Amino acid sequence: MKGIINNGNGNVVIDNEVIAKYAGSAAVECFGVVGMASYNVKDGIVKLLKRDNITHGVNVIFEDDKLMIALHIIVAYGVSISAVADNLMSNVKYKVEEFTGVQVSKIRIIVEGVRVTD
């Protein structure tokens, strides 16, 4: 489903993948986030996504002219998951709202794994 924004000059249509890519890029910038994760339900395997596949770890839904975003992440070992999640939610919400002009109503953080970093 695409997001449609009505303004005085007409309609602006934003594809979910555009928002997913922007939200994923904002997410990996946050301290404590190693990267986005892709979960294979069939095999039960979580894998770290490369920068070009970042949208596979983000789900975007438009509902009632608002956005709901789910982020599947892998966190760094030794960091507070709640602190990372709070920082992640505020950072992604601010950046996506500024980028799209659409209010973000909910952000879900799904921690798919922990990785030891060097």
Q: Other C-beta atoms within 10 Å of 76: how many?
A: 16
Is there a contact between 67 and 105 (Cβ–Cβ < 8 Å)?
A: yes
pLDDT, position 32: 92
* Helix, strand, coil percentages in the chain from 3-state DSSP, rounded to 5: 35, 45, 20
Tell me the C-alpha distance between 48 and 38, whole Å. Answer: 7
pLDDT, position 43: 46
Q: What is the pTM of this model?
A: 0.81
Range(s) of the domain holding residue 23: 3-115
pLDDT, position 47: 54
Residue 79 belongs to a domain with what CATH number?
Answer: 3.30.70.1350
More confident residue, 25 or 53: 25
Q: What is the pLDDT of residues 4-40, one digit of tens each?
A: 666 678 887 888 889 999 999 899 899 999 888 875 5
Is there a contact between 47 and 35 (Cβ–Cβ < 8 Å)?
A: no
